[in-house]
Amino acid sequence: MSSSSSRVAIVTGAAGGIGAALVSEFFAHGYSVIATDIAPQAVDMKCESYVEADLSRAVIDDSYASELFSQLRALIKGRGLHALINNAATQILGGVDALQRKDWHQTLNVNLLAPFFLTQAMLPELEFARGCVINISSIHARLTKKNFVAYATSKAALSGMTRAMAVDLQDRVRVNAIEPAAIETEMLKAGFNGRIDQYLKLTKCHPSQRIGNTSEVARLAIAVAGGDLRFLHGTNIGLDGGISCCLMDPSTGD
């Protein structure tokens, strides 16, 4: 197994809150990080390479996908791929009455199909390094709420695909997923702008009495990617502050 300083990680969705934390954590642990996002690189992001990539287009355009995967392969430089973190996601809200075909295509392309095709393309590099795939799923894979039909379906499929990939790949490449609940990102806080009472209510819904932070997701990913947990395979790990243990009882207001 290569030393930590020569390990390579790819992080998709690197411009978002969780993605940036993943890049920072893996870089701090000595990984050569190849970060990708549809948005430009942040000026303060430390990584070995940054690739602007449209993952939805990579699903539907074979030529574009071939160019993107070749670019990533060239950046790996024959070192093998030790961790592929499929973090990129889109969240299009809407109920059964409102969702359109384009909403479904975009959601499934980015949240489900891009992780599959990227994993498929990087299999030789992952096998060479005895690497792992970490899919960033969501608590919405198991528990959801109104207007999250497309997002919740995509995450449920991603968690299911994680298990199926582990069975299919056997001992060639480890595949696991992390299912976070509410994580304090700029996007989450923007959604509660001017509604501090609702934000506090969300905090109190968690038995932990707080919302998670991005560094906790990143630290868990580091642990999963490490070589000490090779028996961890095909697992969807909840990181939810205990909220998935709660049963709401309307009669008590809890």
Give the per-residue pLDDT at 182. Answer: 92
Higher pLDDT among residues 42 and 196, named by residue:
42
Q: Tell whether the model's pLDDT for residue 5 goes beyond 80.
A: no
Q: Tell whether the model's pLDDT for residue 100 goes beyond 70.
A: yes
Nearest Cα to 139, choosing from 84, 177, 174, 94? 177
Q: Tell whether the model's pLDDT for residue 1 goes beyond 70.
A: no
> For residue 153, how many other CB atoms are within 10 A of its CB?
19
Give the per-residue pLDDT at 195. Answer: 87
Q: Which tokens belong to 80?
A: 């093998």
Q: How far apart are the first and last CA of the chain?
A: 50
Mean pLDDT for 122-127 is 98
Task: Give the largest Cα separation in the chain, rounded.
Answer: 61
Give the per-residue pLDDT at 154. Answer: 98
Q: Which tokens belong to 218?
A: 């990143």
Q: Tell whether the model's pLDDT for residue 229 goes beyond 80.
A: yes
Give the per-residue pLDDT at 3. Answer: 41
Half-sphere exposure of 253 (CA within 13 A, CB side): 1
User: Cα–Cα distances in Å, from 38 out to 12, 88, 140?
Assistant: 9, 9, 24
Q: Tell whether the model's pLDDT for residue 4 goes beyond 80.
A: no
Give the per-residue pLDDT at 251. Answer: 62
Give the per-residue pLDDT at 249. Answer: 63
Mean pLDDT for 15-31 is 97
Q: Which tokens belong to 16?
A: 């978002």
Higher pLDDT among residues 18 and 186, named by residue:
18
Q: Which tokens belong to 39?
A: 């948005």
Sheet holding 236-239: strands in order across?
49-52, 32-37, 8-11, 83-86, 132-136, 174-180, 236-239
Average pLDDT score, the chain:
94
Mean pLDDT for 131-153 is 97
Q: Which domains does the chain have, with CATH numbers?
A: 4-183+214-239 (3.40.50.720)
Q: Tell whether the model's pLDDT for residue 232 goes beyond 70.
A: yes
